[in-house]
Amino acid sequence: MGVLERKEREKEQRRQDILDAALTVFARKGMDQATMDDVAEAAELSKATLYLYFSGKEEMYFALHLRGQEIFYRMVARPGKTVGSFNEKFLAYLNTLVAFQQKYPDYFEASFHFLTRGISLEKNHVLVKQHNENNRLFMNLWIALIQEGKGVGIIREELDEVTAAIVFWMQFTGFLKIYPALKNNIKKQYGFSNQELVQKFFDLIQFGLFKK
């Protein structure tokens, strides 16, 4: 391996170390309260070094959101998830979203942050391009699943799959965001378990409130 390759590898390693430190800081203090000084301290680097890698905490947080996207994509697209009946695949997809949110709450929060506040990096930024590409992959997975469901006569054929994919994804992301704060209260007040609540959500997504 040449000198240039080694330097590139070391640079990427340092970038990932900074992101690890940033993740810890953001998880502890929240994105709004965290400062570049906090991240520098956690990374044991000078603030000047941080700025060689990132324009600021917004860009760091966005890079963490991309990490989350990539973890999620590997979870949802792995071969074992793409076999089985349509209903099995549909539930596997939903359960993967729940599992991702429970296993990686900090990456979920980073993604929700940009989903609700918008992205402040310029449009042609390398990270924004990566984000758009990841989004396209997710949507294509879900659109293909809806198309398959139409093909086997399970999904209503009058639904436009792109629209349905977007709306469903907004509903479910919102549900997941609210879920952790409410599940214990709901359990106490109404007596049904977390698993029951998620199941009821799946039922409502599948069949809606109205008779056909």
Contacting residues toward a second copy, per CB under 8 A: 30, 32-33, 115-118, 146, 149, 153-156, 159-160, 162-164, 166-168, 170-182, 186, 190, 192, 196-197, 200-201, 204-212
Provide the minimum distance between the beta carbon of 49 and a second copy in the complex, in angstroms, as a whole number: 26
5 near 53, Cβ under 8 Å?
no
19 near 65, Cβ under 8 Å?
no
Please, which residue, 72 or 175, has the CB nearer to a second copy? 175
Residue among 167, 188, 210 at smallest CA distance from 197: 188
Provide the minimum distance between the beta carbon of 61 and a second copy in the complex, in angstroms, as a whole number: 14
CA distance 201 to 13: 41
Task: Collect all residues with Cβ–Cβ distance below 8 Å to 55 and sequence separation of at least 6.
Answer: 121
Provide the minimum distance between the beta carbon of 133 and a second copy in the complex, in angstroms, as a whole number: 14
Please, which residue, 12 or 160, has the CB nearer to a second copy? 160
Tokens of residue 175, six digits? 């549900």
Provide the minimum distance between the beta carbon of 136 and a second copy in the complex, in angstroms, as a whole number: 10
CA distance 20 to 97: 23
Please, which residue, 21 or 111, has the CB nearer to a second copy? 111
Please, which residue, 2 or 118, has the CB nearer to a second copy? 118
Tokens of residue 101, six digits? 């949110």
